[in-house]
Amino acid sequence: MNSFETDCVRAFRSPNFWIGFLLECLILCKAGPDSDLFPISVPLVVSLPYSTAWITDMESGYLKEYIPRCGKKAYIFGKIAACALSGGTLLAAAGWIYGKMLKDKAEILDIGLLFSSGMLWALCAATLAAVSKSRYVAYGGSFVLFYLLVIVKERYFTELYCIDPEEWILPKHTWVFDHGGILILCGGLLIILAMIYYEILWRCIERV
């Protein structure tokens, strides 16, 4: 298998992926998507599967053995893709399961928005992990950033709903291009995060 396939297998088969998936399903089924708990849980839960994978590789010595075989670029791209895809899939799958259990189909969540937000916050956690070299910062940092954006919007920029990450999951306002506008915003942020993560991780493994 190439680096991308190896990373995806590790991400989707990891216990953390399934723990996060079951946890998000439980939150949706018990509290519902309109509760305060669901949106605020997103950055924490999607960071569980693979955001700290490179730290594990570094600490275990796997990094030194694997990079000479696959190359640095392939290694980093594999980490970016697997982290984003596992985070997005986790959230989208939980939303899909929740939708299947609903009697009122009007409450079905937008799977595309869930997938894009899951990818975004998973990669945000991975970037924080690369900067800090700390699992705790990765898991908690994206949560803090999410909550900080919510507070800034509610207290200081009440009309600037586009900076509210809860809007990216459960929009309550009318966006330009409708949900497509949210996907464009999340896609742009995802590209920026991927570039930052690539640069930081390249420097971290430069001497390997």
- What is the percent of the chain with per-residue pLDDT over 90, rounded to a whole number? 51
Burial class (CB in 10 A: 0-12, 13-18, 19+), 136: exposed
Count, in order, helices (H) and strands (E) of the chain.
10, 0
pLDDT of residue 103: 60
| Cα separation values, 194 from 32, 83, 131, 147, 187, Å | 31, 10, 13, 22, 10
pLDDT over 60 (residue 146) = yes
Judged by phi (left if over 0) then psi (alpha if -120 to 50, else beta), residue 141 lies in alpha
pLDDT of residue 88: 96
pLDDT of residue 59: 85
Band (157; pLDDT cuts 50, 70, 90): confident
pLDDT of residue 68: 81
pLDDT of residue 45: 95
For residues 198 and 203, give the distance between their C-alpha atoms in angstroms, rounded to a whole number: 9
Helix, strand, coil tally for the chain in percent (to 5): 80, 0, 20
CA-closest candidate to residue 129, choices 196, 42, 36? 196
For residues 168 and 114, give the distance between their C-alpha atoms in angstroms, rounded to a whole number: 8
pLDDT of residue 161: 86
- Collapse the DSSP code of 89 into the 3-class scheme (helix H, G, I; strand E, B; otherwise coil) and give the result: helix
pLDDT of residue 3: 79
pLDDT of residue 105: 55
99-126 tens-digit pLDDT: 888 765 556 788 999 999 999 999 999 9
pLDDT of residue 60: 84
Q: What is the mean pLDDT of residues 83-108?
A: 84
In this structure, are residues 75 and 66 in contact, taking their beta carbons and an 8 Å threshold? yes
In this structure, are residues 112 and 99 in contact, taking their beta carbons and an 8 Å threshold? no
For residues 61 and 74, give the distance between their C-alpha atoms in angstroms, rounded to a whole number: 18
Average pLDDT of the chain is: 89
pLDDT of residue 107: 60
pLDDT over 90 (residue 71) = no
Band (207; pLDDT cuts 50, 70, 90): low
CA-closest candidate to residue 34, choices 100, 106, 125? 106
